[in-house]
Amino acid sequence: MFDTFLDDVAARDWDTHPDGTVRFAVVGTGGFARHLALPAIDSADYGEVTTLVTGSPDARADLATEYDATAIDYEAYRDGTRADAYDAVYVVVPNRLHLPNVAAAADHGKHVLCEKPLDATLERAERLVAACEDAGVTLMTAYRMQTDPVVRRLRAFVQGGGLGDVVKLSGDFTFPVLSGGYGPDHWRLAADLAGGGALYDVGVYPLNTARFVLDTEPTAVEGTTATSGPYSDVDERVAFTVEFPEGVFGSFSASFTGAADSTFVVHGTDGTARLEDAFVPRRDRTLRVEAGGATLTLEGAGTNEVREEFDYFAHCVLTGERPEPDGEDGLADLRVMDAVYESAASGERRSL
């Protein structure tokens, strides 16, 4: 029953071992880029860092030396300076700055891996997707969990009937944003830059993972939000229910305050699968599956899904395949999340 999980948990079910590598320009050198993305690309099988884009002269000097790469500012990047040095762009700047930087990449004929959400508003995200489509370049929304081998095996097990018929899903991601050295002026707390708060930043993880595992789209949502103190501009906490076809429900929550936690659970007629540390980057996850009278527990089964994400994207570029988390995937989540906000404001269920 559990062969799907036990047969090399870290194996890449998408890898056809193409020749070549993709040269990346990393646009934005904040904490996620420095601590997670750049080391991931540097260790990737199909990617390499050749260009860094940042407004900080100190960061340009330090990172250019560390990664033996060319470092330029945003104006030079938008003008196409050194565009011959990279094949693809990873955009990891505040949400409202995604569109101009992705549009610049598309104008220069470069493929794009863009952080989620695709932009601060649905309308801007639609323009972002259109820019890539018009330019004929590959666009992938940076949903790293879709490339995590454990999550991919969970999807295969669920879709193969391992839990029977899915009846509900639940998930939470609590990220105490101000506990990591950020102050109240951090961009995640500014609606004009972020677009939304806990829902846009971390609530999207259980939502997107549920859509990925079920391979279907929601039909309606209900939501509520709460905020206080320095979070007055965005939602500090959110809880929302998502209705899927055939009576399947998802109950999800996210918060910028509270003890850090992330879980994802799939409940079926014949069993349950529970993933702990589900959405934390580069974490050894614990998966417990109870089905058919048997129990499987995988501890320390995670991998560096950030590296997997870059290798998967580069693989798509090298092979010409369309990524699963493409631009439309990113737009679908924005439509759902905007409906959650509308429901929270009106107190009414919103159909999709």
Strand ranges for 177-322 from DSSP E: 220-226, 237-244, 248-255, 261-268, 271-276, 286-291, 294-299
Beta partners for residue 243, in sequence order: 220, 249
What is the pLDDT at residue 4? 67
β-strand pairing of 22-27 with 88-91: parallel
Q: What is the CA radius of gyration of the chain?
A: 20
Among 141, 16, 39, 152, CA closest to 90 = 141
Element holding 28 (H helix, E strand):
none
User: SS3 helix, strand, coil % of the chain, rounded to 5?
Assistant: 40, 25, 35
Beta partners for residue 253, in sequence order: 172, 239
Cα distances (angstroms) measured from residue 281 to each of 115, 119, 175, 285 = 14, 21, 12, 10
First-to-final CA distance of the chain: 36
Three-class DSSP category at 15: coil
Q: What is the C-alpha separation between 104 and 16, in angstroms, rounded?
A: 31
Element holding 9 (H helix, E strand):
none
pLDDT, the chain, mean: 95
CB contact at 8 A, 7 and 271: no
DSSP type of residue 34: I
Percent of the chain with pLDDT over 70: 98
Task: Write down the domain spans for the chain.
Answer: 15-144, 148-303+325-351
Q: Which of the four pLDDT bands, split at 50, 70 and 90, describes residue 299? A: confident
Domain 148-303+325-351: give its CATH superfamily: Dihydrodipicolinate Reductase; domain 2 (3.30.360.10)
CB contact at 8 A, 95 and 120: yes
CB contact at 8 A, 143 and 325: yes
Percent of the chain with pLDDT over 90: 89
Instruction: Using the predicted structure, report yes or no on whether residue 229 has a pLDDT greater than 70.
Output: yes
Among 191, 189, 151, 202, CA closest to 337 = 202
Among 126, 170, 116, 125, CA closest to 146 = 116
Give mean pLDDT, residues 277-298. 90
- What phi, psi does 97 have (nearest 5°)? -95, 0
Class at the top of the CATH hierarchy for domain 15-144: alpha beta
Three-class DSSP category at 37: helix
Beta partners for residue 249, in sequence order: 168, 243
Q: What is the C-alpha separation between 192 and 132, in angstroms, rounded?
A: 24
- Return the number of other C-beta atoms located less than 10 Å from residue 337's C-beta: 23
pLDDT digits 0-9 by tens, 109-150: 999 999 999 999 999 999 999 999 999 999 999 999 999 999
pTM of the shown model: 0.96
Three-class DSSP category at 64: helix
What is the pLDDT at residue 6? 63
| DSSP per residue, 151-210 | HHHHHHHHHTTTTSSEEEEEEEEE--GGGSS--TT-GGG-HHHHSSSHIIIIIHHHHHHH
What is the pLDDT at residue 303? 78
pLDDT digits 0-9 by tens, 6-18: 667 778 999 999 9
